[in-house]
Amino acid sequence: MKFAQIVLAASAATVAYAYPRGRDVDPTKKSADVQKRANGFSWLGVSESGAEFGTNIPGTLGNDYAWPETSQVKILRDQGMNIFRVPFLMERMVPTSLTGPVDATYLAGLTSTVKFITDSGAYAVLDPHNYGRYDGNIITSTSDFAAFWKALATKFASNDKVIFDTSKRSPRGKSYAIDLSTNIIPPDNEYHDIDQTIVLNMNQAAINAIRAAGATSQYIFVEGNGYTGAWSWSTTNDNLKALTDSSDKIIYEMHQYLDSDSSGTSESCVSATIGKERLQSATAWLRDNKKKGFLGEFAGGVNANCEAAVEGMLSYMSENTDVWTGAEWWAAGPRWGSYMYSLEPSTGPAYSTYLPILKKYFVSS
């Protein structure tokens, strides 16, 4: 696999108006657009993975990790995607401690990537891909977590197209400690088995800190415990309905994979209908609690069973856009190689199969 260096976003201005515009709707309000239900999503896109890769901290750009290639982001943007999540590591952003200074070089990489995305009219999700941990330890200090978020949010407070993702819990196996020479994904190392009150308190601390930083117009995606799984959300994360936001722009981010244990580690899917089935209880929870949801990670293998399951899931969500605002595929990015879910143009194994399915649900469609 050839790893390309980051392409800085100096040319972003030349493409700013070449893209289909994202729908500027407020997902927290039941507009006529949303109530149409047919393709009523606000967002549909992909996670642009790469800056969270590598076990060497801080590591070397282009060797241990890479920022998304803007030329590849442009391809997906041109197709109609209007949201891109940008994972990164907290240990690289604030190398000394959660309350320490932001690393200027690493921040510059994030800033240039975000600028390219948002200059195109799309949304950029800032995703600290840390599994609820810093330097290997579970984060329990709300004041430390708030300090990190206030420092970061201050840098992006004036960009309305930025979305803050308060906590990261990706599918089991999607560790950034990946053997890039073999594309083997190592065992689980995510945020899980944490006291549920900690999850509530950390999310609330992040929300408060982001608003205190002056970022009052942006959406905030909050994630839950138990891998933030949609299938178990109503039983695992019910207490998160107590979260409050002075700007009233909380979106509940859930993840859902379609293999036997919902881990996202197999090319197989349980059935052609499992996508819809695994979202039903979460849909009811969102509606009962008058909340909005977003599917922050989903994927399936390249086979007929999974393709039907993914399409069935998206179709079901599009019929319930009073609560579902959209979804992001896991994942694209320059370092995946032959990883089964890679949507990286045009070499990713999932690209040619799943892009046509996803396009049916793009906001611009």
Residue 135 falls within a domain, yes or no? yes
Spell out the residues 6+ positions from residue 265 whose beta carbon is closer than 8 angstroms to its own: 171, 172, 173, 185, 259
The one catalytic residue among 190, 223, 307, 344: 190
Provide the mean pLDDT of the chain. 86
Report pLDDT for 39: 66
Residue 364 confidence class, pLDDT cut points 50, 70, 90:
low
Say if 249 falls within a structural domain. Answer: yes
Q: Would residue 3 count as lying in a domain?
A: no
Average pLDDT over residues 326-347: 97
Count of structural domains, the chain? 1
3-class secondary structure, 104: helix
Which residue range forms the structural domain that includes residue 301?
9-359
Convert the pLDDT of each residue in 69-119 to its tens digit.
Answer: 999 999 999 999 999 999 999 999 999 999 999 999 999 999 999 999 999
Give residue 65's identity as a one-letter amino acid code. Y
- Residue 253 annotated as catalytic: no
Structural domain contains residue 95: yes
- 297 is known as an active-site residue: yes
pLDDT score for 287: 99
| Residue 365 is assigned to a structural domain of this protein | no
pLDDT at 181 over 90: no
Question: Is residue 198 within 8 Å of residue 140, measured between CB atoms?
Answer: yes
Q: In angstroms, rounded to a whole number, what is the distance separating the alpha carbons of residues 308 and 323?
A: 22
Nearest residue to 129 (alpha-carbon basis) of 164, 163, 98, 175 = 175
We report the CATH number of the domain holding residue 102 as: 3.20.20.80
β-sheet bridge partners, residue 138: 133
Q: In this structure, is residue 34 part of a structural domain?
A: yes
Range of lowest pLDDT (83-87, 183-187, 212-216, 291-295): 183-187
Residue corresponding to tokens 């090319």: 267
Beta strands of the chain (E only): which ranges? 43-48, 83-88, 123-128, 133-134, 137-138, 162-165, 220-223, 250-257, 293-299, 324-332
* Interval 156-161 mean pLDDT: 99
pTM of the model: 0.86
Task: Render pLDDT for 240-251 as a digit per residue (tens, 0 to 9).
Answer: 999 999 999 999
> Which is the catalytic residue, given 48, 69, 91, 297?
297
Strand pairing class (133-134; 137-138): antiparallel
The reply to whether 300 falls in a domain is yes
Residue 4 in domain: no
